[in-house]
Structure 1
Amino acid sequence: MRDSEKKLFLLDAMALIYRAYYALNKNPRINSKGENTSAVLGFTNSLYEILKKEKPTHIAVAFDSFGPTLRHVDFSAYKANRESMPEDMVLSLPYIRAIIEAFRIPLLEVPGFEADDIIGTLAKKAERAGFTVYMVTSDKDYGQLVSERIFMYKPAYMGNDISILGEKEICDKYSIQRPEQLIDILGLWGDASDNIPGIKGVGEVT
């Protein structure tokens, strides 16, 4: 990295917390109080690795707001098929927030909006300000935001190395010409994880 390069990492907290929790689901980490610390351990490891290896000049962590979002107003069935957050994970959240604050990293949360709304807005603003931006998440929806200076960054996971997706990787993965076309692709396919129906007979080729 050049000394003058401004390097911003934006972490999607809940995406990383869920990922960490379920990665250790078969062999959860239990502390002396009987508490499941898998989510805390996994999230903290990912955060520490980014700070140590990537040395960002700027960093922030975004959380989803609890309660309905603007998407629920437009589509009442949005994410209605999802199970409640596991109690172990709920109990982990205050610890994770405390760790983020202990690192003196900004914690971002806006009522009525999800982390991807916050990250998408900041990523585009930072790009215009000359930053190289890394959106730390495994959520495919972020692919539409990728550009010459905005990347998806997937931390190491279950034996797989770090994965950084730029314009070429997104376009090749979805057979599109520009990352923003991913909006159309996902609109046609629908998204079962968000309970969004697609066009009947249209779906990802597997």
Structure 2
Amino acid sequence: MSNSKTLVLVDGSSYLYRAYHAMPDLRAIPGDPASPATGAIRGMVNMMQALRKEVPADYAVCVFDASGPTFRDELYTEYKATRSPMPDDLREQIAPIHEVVRLLGWQVVAV
């Protein structure tokens, strides 16, 4: 008899960008460009729910890049040096995405 447990570990930052680029420009108030963007949030919810259905697990953790410089920058000064800045309408969805992922039952970690 096995007491093994299953852990699902997701690269949340990768999922975040995938969701942002896969979804249309969804807004809290449809058609109002001044309304907060919600496309990445919706995409993340869809992907996280699909993954939990596909891979039942005892534990689920979604890991995001921490804001600001991290140990990676100290180890490798060129880390993400050529990457374009994050779009503002994606940046404003990060905190809500963290909260929604928690509400879906995932632990959220920033590294």
Q: Which category of TM-score, normalised to the shorter sequence, fits these structures? A: 0.7 to 0.9
Return the offset for 1:72.
1.8
Letter matched to residue 22 of structure 2: A
Between stretches 48-57 and 86-95, larger displacement belongs to: 48-57
Q: Partner residue of 1:6?
A: 5
Letter matched to residue 73 of structure 1: E
Give SS of 1:59's match: strand
Give SS of 1:44's match: helix
Moved over 3 A (4+): none
Which digits, 9 at most, give the CA deviation of each residue in 1:123-166, with x for residues without a partner? xxxxxxxxxxxxxxxxxxxxxxxxxxxxxxxxxxxxxxxxxxxx
The 2-side partners of 1:49 and 1:4 are apart by 26
Return the offset for 1:31.
2.4
The 2-side partners of 1:57 and 1:92 are apart by 28
Is this contact kept in 1: 2:8–2:61, CA < 8 A?
A: yes
Aligned length: 106
Unaligned runs of 5+ in 2: none
Q: Partner residue of 1:28?
A: 25
Percent identity of the aligned residues?
27
Q: Aligned runs of 1:55-134 on 2, under 5 Å?
A: 55-110=56-111
Is this contact kept in 1: 2:65–2:110, CA < 8 A?
A: yes
TM-score (norm 1): 0.47
Which structure exhibits the higher relative contact order, with contacts defined as CA atoms closer than 8 Å and separated by 6 or more residues? Answer: 2
Return the offset for 1:4.
5.6
Q: Partner residue of 2:55?
A: 54
CA RMSD of aligned residues (A): 2.0
Which digits, 9 at most, give the CA deviation of each residue in 1:85-134, with x for residues without a partner? 11111111111111122233211124xxxxxxxxxxxxxxxxxxxxxxxx
